[in-house]
Chains A and B, each alone.
Chain A
Amino acid sequence: DIQMTQSPSTLSASVGDRVTITCRASQSISSRLAWYQQKPGEAPKLLIYKASSLENGVPSRFSGSGSGTEFTLTISSLQPDDFATYYCQQYNSYSWTFGQGTKVEIK
């Protein structure tokens, strides 16, 4: 199975900060990577698909990049609504796998 490793596990930041989360795959997944945001008590929400495509309705401060085995999610200017947990997920082959999550906390 393909392993997905996210870093950091926790990130403390302030409103207005630029935030970057990294996701590494144990083998190439081309660009078949998605990013999800999850808030407590809610289902995950799709932010980015195909590594860098922004889902409809998602603010443009979110962006994704990468291909192969190295990927990043960037929030250009952190807003109060962005404090949440973020997951990467590969859909290149069964079995699908998620990263372990990155919790973005208020500094």
Chain B
Amino acid sequence: EVQLVESGGGLVQPGRSLRLSCAASGFTLDHYAMHWVRQAPGKGLEWVAGISWNSGSVGYADSVRGRFTISRDNAKNSVYLQMNSLRAEDMALYYCAKASGGHYYYYIDVWGKGTTVTVSS
């Protein structure tokens, strides 16, 4: 069974950092692009970042560019989101998501259950 399990969320003060992890199982990670999508409480979905199968292409939403970094370790079947200089508006449920192919022009076909990030002093 294809599965994505996020971890690393929690309560963090504004300006601090947090690293999210996504453990993939049930498929060969290095064949697929991966993404992070977030959802603030009561709000819609917002794409955060994406990374191609070999890390050769990455993309970020304007709202996080320069503060967040997406990376992957195919040998460890894991994807990461390093979040620096966190702001109140970054507070959300963060989903890890698998694309249907290796590059940015493939849609998301599998979602994790998400990990919650709370930014508050």
Contacts and interface: CB of A to CB of B under 8 A. Distances in A.
Interface of A: 1, 32, 34, 36, 38, 43-46, 49-50, 55, 85, 87, 89, 91-101
B72 interface: no
Given A43-B111, A91-B107, 14 more contacts: A44-B45, A49-B100, A87-B45, A89-B45, A89-B108, A93-B104, A94-B60, A94-B104, A95-B47, A95-B62, A96-B35, A96-B50, A101-B44, A101-B45
Nearest to A34: B107
B45 A95 contact: no
Contacts of B95: 43-44
Contacts of B37: 98
B9 to A, nearest CB: 15
A32 B61 CA distance: 18
Contacts of A92: 105
Contact of B108 (A1, A46, A93, A99): A46
Nearest to A92: B105
Contacts of A91: 104-108
Contacts of A96: 35, 47, 50, 59, 104
Consensus secondary structure, chain A interface: loop
Contacts of B62: 1, 95
B49 to A, nearest CB: 9
B107 A98 contact: no
27 contacts: A1-B62, A34-B107, A36-B45, A36-B108, A43-B111, A43-B114, A44-B95, A45-B111, A46-B107, A46-B108, A49-B100, A87-B44, A91-B105, A91-B106, A91-B107, A94-B57, A95-B47, A95-B59, A96-B35, A96-B47, A96-B50, A96-B59, A98-B45, A98-B46, A99-B44, A101-B44, A101-B45
Nearest to B104: A94
- Of the candidates B46, B57, B104, B114, the one having the most CB atoms from chain A within 10 angstroms of its own CB is B104
- Of the candidates A1, A44, A100, the one having the most CB atoms from chain B within 10 angstroms of its own CB is A44
